[in-house]
Amino acid sequence: MKSLTILFLLLITSITSMKAEQATIRISTAETDLILKTAPNGRLYQAYLGEKLINESETQSLSYYITHPASDGAVTPRGWEVYPVSGGEDYFEPAFAIQHNDGNMTSYLYYQSHEVQDIDSNTKKTIIKLADDKYPVQVTLYYVTFAKENVIKSWTEIKHNEKKAVKISQYASSMLYFESPKYFLNEYSGDWAKEVQLSTQELKFGKKLIDTKLGSRAAMHAYPFFQLGLGQEVQENQGTVLVGTIGWTGNFRFTFEIDNVNNLRVISGINPYASTYELKPNEIFKTPEFIYTLSYKGAGKASRDISAWALKYQLKDGQGDRLTLLNNWEATGPNFDENILGEWMHEAHDLGVDMFLLDDGWFGNKYPRFDDKRALGDWEPTHSKLPNGIPGLVTKAKEAGVKFGLWVEPEMINPKSELFEKHPDWAIMQPNREPYYYRHQLVLDLSNPAVQDFSFGVIDKILRENPDLAYLKWDCNSPITNIYSPYLKDKQNHLYIDHVRGVYNILKRVTEKYPHVEIMMCSGGGARCDYEALKYFSEFWCSDNTDPVDRLYIQWNYSKFFPIKAMAAHVTSWNKSASIKFRTDVAMMCKLGFDISLKELSDDEKEFCKTAVKNYNSLKKVILDGNFYRLVSPYDGNHTSVLHVSKNQDKAVLFAYDIFPAFKEKLYPIKAEGLNAEKLYRIKEINLMPNMKSTLADDGKVYSGDYLMKVGINAFSSDRMSSKVIELTAE
């Protein structure tokens, strides 16, 4: 023991001796610099975050202290500490809070060392080690930079070797500081069928939080991403904008705090609500990744950068193709049988899509799933509906010439299920109170490894027995209710975090064993959409609201943070007052699918849909892999327009939508972006109803990219809920 103490003292001496050393750590993308510096007190401060500096030598001039003098004229020692801990001299929200074994609640973290690893020619990882000088607590900061895409991700690892567990009650992924006369926050709130509603506010002194406490269907009311305009409101094509998002499929929290001198700090991480974590000696607490980009040319550039990053580095199968599909949920709900599904498969083939996706309602025998009150957990096909099980359906799909996909909800349990009768202790539920339900269901306790094994086993069995199954729609309809884990017993404060880790464990095992299966993330619509989950999901379901008018806003907002390829959009019967063309044109700007019975459609409408699928297939690469431009905002009037441009600028697809134009409203031309000014593009309106001619004055004409970007194209009309899809082809 004595020798351990001596060793520890020696360690402290070596840390202390490093305090004198000055380190400057430059973390850069092609356009942004984050510069950290050690101060003479041995601690690490943010000296700069902004547009990349040209002269390396000038980074030496950056100061690590707040430069304004304190009221007595002395320079205050309070600076922008990179990972400030509670109980220190900083008067604002800390990144980290800890209680040591002796009850003390302070920590000061001193710089120890850092290293930079080249992951590849575009990616660098900077690892910075910090440690307390009085307690054996180590904090490691990680920064990964993606130069070309201007994206930085950062996370933190916390570790200690005190005798017993320490309690950590705040554990940010990252803390960033900004200095600007004004700050404007764009946040996104929601509910079922009302996803990603934009609201903007100017931040003033004090704190603004964006957080969730919903656990599993975590983003139902608040989304794990934001845009921050520095100096002015967020604009599409100019101004400095921070786009930030946290990769955590559970309770998250962003804290925006403006201090006494109008500096802003942005703290991102897991929401520590009800989650003081007892960290055992030598256990590593790894925070989620905070992913961000700074654009100096507005929000459009930030979206394109983060999308390019996601396709290359984060989204499951980001470089791969996507399957178009026909889904049965909106038309049949859980009421179908094998014969009816056989007809759907033929309809899918007739329509020209790649796959038929069977939704909820295929399972449960003791309690067959004819409604949403029963059977979650009993993942056996219902004999009366599907006498030949899933293999029978896979075969039928093959015969119809389409692939087959299946809906699952493996994190949930209905109290009315055989699983619940056998394992009531597998549900998150109070032992001594009446349960309350969200959608008649409970959340499985995935902090329990046995329950993780069960959920993995369900998916494993389906995929093992059906190797031709191409796609899963993985739903998650309930937030965590009745917060109590029978497994965690006296460690209930670990539930929110360990549950999410359990979800990742299942997803990791599934995607490692079945990498070829495309998986859609769904959460009662779009209540789950974060970048950690998207490592395991090839796309997400944006919303059950498929009214094309509402969708224009929903898709507009998601596109600020996610690649178009990740955004699933289906043509349905929502808002039948909109034409099938308008509904299809809206879905076609994302990853296209249909959730409608072809029997509902007239011959002309059917013909139109088939042509639209063909057009989509021929333009899929441009739409899903090109650069995306938001040209005219639906928030600015009665029209909206977006443009996809292929990487080589040879092809582009322009979508123009008239929502509810006013009588005799003046119509403005749509100015393109991202084209090659020198190239000549032929204009062709596509997706026309059978026997209809284009009303586009410029149809068939050829213009330079320069003209199309400066003068534009007259594609808006005065018709309500009308649309045009225009193909631009370089000659």
Positions touching ligand DGJ (CB under 6 A) are 329, 359-360, 407, 475, 477, 522, 524-525, 541, 544
Tokens at 486, concatenated: 């029978």
| Nearest distance in Å: CB 397, ligand DGJ | 19
DSSP 576: T
| Nearest distance in Å: CB 413, ligand DGJ | 14
Q: Which three-class secondary structure state does DSSP give residue 149?
A: coil
Point out which residues pair with 124 in neighbouring strands.
Answer: 118, 145
Query: Which C-beta is closer to ligand DGJ: that of 526 or that of 563?
Result: 526
| Nearest distance in Å: CB 324, ligand DGJ | 17
| Nearest distance in Å: CB 328, ligand DGJ | 10
Q: Residue 595: CB partners within 8 Å, gap ≥ 6?
A: 326, 327, 328, 329, 330, 331, 546, 570, 571, 572
Q: C-alpha distances in angstroms, 320 versus 331, 624, 629?
A: 30, 10, 21
User: Dmax over Cα atoms in the chain, in whole Å?
Assistant: 91
Question: Phi/psi of residue 303, each to 5°?
Answer: -65, -45
Query: Which C-beta is closer to ligand DGJ: that of 42 or that of 525?
Result: 525
Point out which residues pair with 427 in neighbouring strands.
Answer: 444
Q: Residue 729: enclosing H or E segment and its boundaries?
A: strand 722-730
Question: Phi/psi of residue 33, each to 5°?
Answer: -120, 130
Query: Which C-beta is closer to ligand DGJ: that of 187 or that of 475?
Result: 475
| Nearest distance in Å: CB 533, ligand DGJ | 15
Nearest CA-CA partner of 669 in 623, 726, 589, 720: 726
| Nearest distance in Å: CB 543, ligand DGJ | 8
Query: Which C-beta is closer to ligand DGJ: that of 187 or that of 359?
Result: 359
Q: C-alpha distances in angstroms, 151 versus 245, 290, 340?
A: 11, 10, 48
Tell me whether strands 722-730 and 680-686 are parallel, antiparallel or unpaired: antiparallel
Query: Which C-beta is closer to ligand DGJ: that of 317 or that of 544?
Result: 544
| Nearest distance in Å: CB 195, ligand DGJ | 10
Query: CB nearest ligand DGJ: which residue?
Result: 360
Query: Which C-beta is closer to ligand DGJ: that of 289 or that of 360?
Result: 360
What's the CA gap between 524 and 501, in Å, rounded? 21
Tokens at 10, concatenated: 């020696």
Contact 332, 593 (CB under 8 A): no
Query: Which C-beta is closer to ligand DGJ: that of 294 or that of 406?
Result: 406
Q: Residue 524: CB partners within 8 Å, gap ≥ 6?
A: 192, 217, 220, 439, 475, 476, 477, 478, 544
| Nearest distance in Å: CB 599, ligand DGJ | 20
What's the CA gap between 474 and 517, in Å, rounded? 12
Query: Which C-beta is closer to ligand DGJ: that of 302 or that of 325?
Result: 325
Query: Which C-beta is closer to ligand DGJ: that of 29 or that of 477?
Result: 477
Q: Which three-class secondary structure state does DSSP give residue 2?
A: helix
Contact 189, 199 (CB under 8 A): yes
44-51 sheet: strands from edge to edge: 24-28, 32-38, 44-51
What's the CA gap between 656 and 585, in Å, rounded? 9
Query: Which C-beta is closer to ligand DGJ: that of 298 or that of 377?
Result: 377
Query: Which C-beta is closer to ligand DGJ: that of 31 or that of 544?
Result: 544
Tell me whether strands 151-160 and 289-295 are parallel, antiparallel or unpaired: antiparallel
Query: Which C-beta is closer to ligand DGJ: that of 474 or that of 582?
Result: 474
DSSP 567: E
Looking up tokens 């929290």, which residue turns up? Answer: 253
Query: Which C-beta is closer to ligand DGJ: that of 290 or that of 471?
Result: 471
Looking up tokens 């899918």, which residue turns up? Answer: 348
| Nearest distance in Å: CB 224, ligand DGJ | 18
Looking up tokens 């949920």, which residue turns up? Answer: 329
Query: Which C-beta is closer to ligand DGJ: that of 224 or that of 593?
Result: 593
Q: C-alpha distances in angstroms, 656 versus 284, 589, 671, 714?
A: 51, 10, 11, 10
Tokens at 198, concatenated: 């934009």
Query: Which C-beta is closer to ligand DGJ: that of 240 or that of 545?
Result: 545
Side-chain-side CA neighbours of residue 649 (13 Å)? 12
Q: C-alpha distances in angstroms, 502 versus 270, 342, 444, 452?
A: 15, 36, 10, 6
| Nearest distance in Å: CB 422, ligand DGJ | 23
What's the CA gap between 251 and 29, in Å, rounded? 29
Contact 448, 454 (CB under 8 A): no
| Nearest distance in Å: CB 570, ligand DGJ | 9
| Nearest distance in Å: CB 330, ligand DGJ | 8
| Nearest distance in Å: CB 545, ligand DGJ | 10
| Nearest distance in Å: CB 564, ligand DGJ | 20
| Nearest distance in Å: CB 471, ligand DGJ | 13
What's the CA gap between 411 and 477, in Å, rounded? 9
Q: C-alpha distances in angstroms, 23 versus 18, 38, 42, 47?
A: 10, 5, 9, 12
| Nearest distance in Å: CB 522, ligand DGJ | 5
Query: Which C-beta is closer to ligand DGJ: that of 360 or that of 411?
Result: 360
Query: Which C-beta is closer to ligand DGJ: that of 475 or that of 539?
Result: 475
What's the CA gap between 652 and 676, in Å, rounded? 11
| Nearest distance in Å: CB 409, ligand DGJ | 7
Burial code of 612-648, b = ≥16 C-beta within 10 A, e = fewer? bbebbeebbebbbbbbbbbbbebeebbbbbbbbbbee
